[in-house]
Amino acid sequence: MILSRFARPVGARQRSRTAAVQTAAVFVLACLSPTSHAGLEEGRVKAQVCAACHGADGNSVIPGTPSLAGQPRQFIVTALFMFREGRRKNDQMTPFVEKLSNADLNDLAAYFSSQKMAPPAHKTTPERIAEGKAITRAQNCVACHTATLTGQQHIPRIASQRHEYLLSQLRQFRATTRADFDGTMTSATQALSQADIEVLADYLASLAAP
């Protein structure tokens, strides 16, 4: 699915992004090869420095800081890789990933992906839930993030993510200021109004695991 995108004709800006995506994809595939059995226990130990922000079990209680519990392993490795290579930048997050090895990325991803996501901290009205659900169907969010919006492979879980974090990420994708692994999220947000984004963040943050 990712590879087919490399084949389409592209402009110069797109070409450099495509090269970066290729590097990232090759890297992630190498990390996730069957021989690299990332250690859960190693990950648990290495994750202690992350707990202050992301929560001891990967469920964040800090507005604006994402939860990592139950995220697909491949997504966590990809996100950490993007931060480490400076493609995604954040003053709080970047210093903690700069010196991590590939083995660290794997172990941390194994640990956080095996943690259980907590029940949503956010609540909204039945009307907003119906509106949000309709947008995720009409805009095909469910095609990539899955019907339960819990993610797969390199695509993150967005159900029960922190409300402020969802809002800020969607606004940034829409404004083309959030680095985007393969460009699909920037495209997926272009048709959304600011009001749609508010409904989506409200809906997704309140959505429990199936």
Which positions touch ligand HEC (CB under 6 A)?
A: 49-50, 52-54, 65-66, 68, 76, 79-80, 90, 92-93, 96, 108, 136, 139-141, 143-145, 154-156, 158, 161, 166, 169-170, 180-182, 184-185, 188, 200
- Burial class of residue 138, CB neighbours in 10 A (0-12, 13-18, 19+): exposed
DSSP labels for 83-145? HHTTSS--TTTHHHHTT--HHHHHHHHHHHHTSPPPPPS----HHHHHHHHHHHHHTTHHHHH
Question: Closest approach of Cβ 122 to ligand HEC, in Å?
Answer: 14
CB of 123 to ligand HEC, least distance (A): 19
Torsion of Cα atoms, 112 then 135 then 184 then 4, to 10°: 100
- The number of helix segments (H) and strand segments (E) in the chain equals 12, 0
Beta carbons of 152 and 186 less than 8 angstroms apart = no
Burial class (CB in 10 A: 0-12, 13-18, 19+), 85: middle
How near is the Cβ of 54 to ligand HEC at its closest, in Å? 5
Which lies closer to ligand HEC via its Cβ, residue 144 or residue 207? Answer: 144
Beta carbon of residue 24, minimum distance to ligand HEC (angstroms, whole number): 9
* Minimum CB distance to ligand HEC, residue 85 (Å): 12
Nearer to ligand HEC, 25 or 170 (CB): 170
Q: Which is nearer to ligand HEC, 17 or 154 (CB)?
A: 154
Reference 90, options 100, 80, 99; nearest CA is 80
Q: Residue 199 CB, nearest distance to ligand HEC (Å)?
A: 10
Bridge partners (DSSP) listed for residue 152: 155
| Cβ distance to ligand HEC smaller for residue 11 or 136 | 136
Q: Which two tokens stand for residue 105?
A: 């990325």
